[in-house]
Structure 1
Amino acid sequence: MKSQDETLEEWCRLLLRAFELEDVDVDINEVLSVAGVAAHSVVRPAAPLTTFIAGLATGLQCAAGQAPDVLAMHSAMDVARTAAKAYAAEEARAATGSPAAGSAGTSAPSGTPGE
């Protein structure tokens, strides 16, 4: 019987091959770490949504020639992790009724459209 790590490695290789991305190196532990931060900082279903959007951002950045694969992936994961932690902090502040730091009772813009 395969371990979870072996299964994930095998699945990752298979999926990369299916998308003709065999030359892409995916840091599975980093992806799972970001998914975990999103799941615990936002809500559980935020994990796949967060990793999908981070992957989309990575692909767009690479396609535009803005960064090589590895750098784009790490950058997207960092942004996703930071956004999830900021969301959790803002939710905690809202739950306690305390204003965001330096906001004098108003929330700072998050940069998210629609907010």
Structure 2
Amino acid sequence: MGIDDELEADVKSQEETLEEWCRVLLQAFELEGVEVDVNGVLSVAGVAAHSVVRPAAPLTTFIAGYAAGMARGIGQATDADSMAAALDVARKAAIDYTEPGTEAE
């Protein structure tokens, strides 16, 4: 097995682990039927980590998830639509973020 094969196996293992962890969490919260765009969540976390500060990633995804849950809970949107909208808002906010006291270029 070469380095590229090992790296590919590691990436697959990480993806498989994340998918399994997602299923475990959904089951723990009794949300087995909910579809989660794991790559979409990770993408937003990456944008927040690089646009704001690294610890903004989990905070951003938590708040986006909370917002999606609230939208779904009041019947404003379906699971998929509420999650997509929340991730879009979080991504845009992170991209547009500038530290207080600094001006956007």
> What TM-score comes out, normalization by structure 2 length?
0.83
**Runs ≥4 residues deviating over 2 A:** none
Aligned to 2:59: 49
The alignment partner of 1:3 has SS state of helix
Unaligned runs of 5+ in 2: 1-9
The alignment partner of 1:53 has SS state of helix
Aligned to 2:3: none
Structure 1 counterpart of 2:95, which letter?
K
Of the candidates 64, 75, 86, which is equivalent to residue 65 of structure 1?
A: 75
Distance 1:15 1:100, change over 3 A: closer
1:30-109 superposed matches below 5 A: 30-87=40-97, 90-91=98-99, 94=102
| 1:65-84 Cα shifts (integer Å, max 9, x gaps) | 00000000000000000000
Displacement of 1:100 after TM fit? 5.4
Larger Rg: 1
Distance 1:71 1:86 in 2: 22
Count of residue pairs brought into register by the alignment: 94
Structure 2 counterpart of 1:13, which letter?
R
Higher helix share: 2
Identity %: 68
| 1:21-80 Cα shifts (integer Å, max 9, x gaps) | 000000100000000000000000000000000000000000110000000000000000
Unaligned runs of 5+ in 1: 102-115
Structure 2 counterpart of 1:3, which letter?
S
> What TM-score comes out, normalization by structure 1 length?
0.76
Structure 2 counterpart of 1:19, which letter?
F
Structure 1 counterpart of 2:59, which letter?
L
The alignment partner of 1:26 has SS state of coil
Q: Does structure 1 residue 16 correspond to structure 2 residue 26?
A: yes
Distance 2:94 2:76 in 1: 24
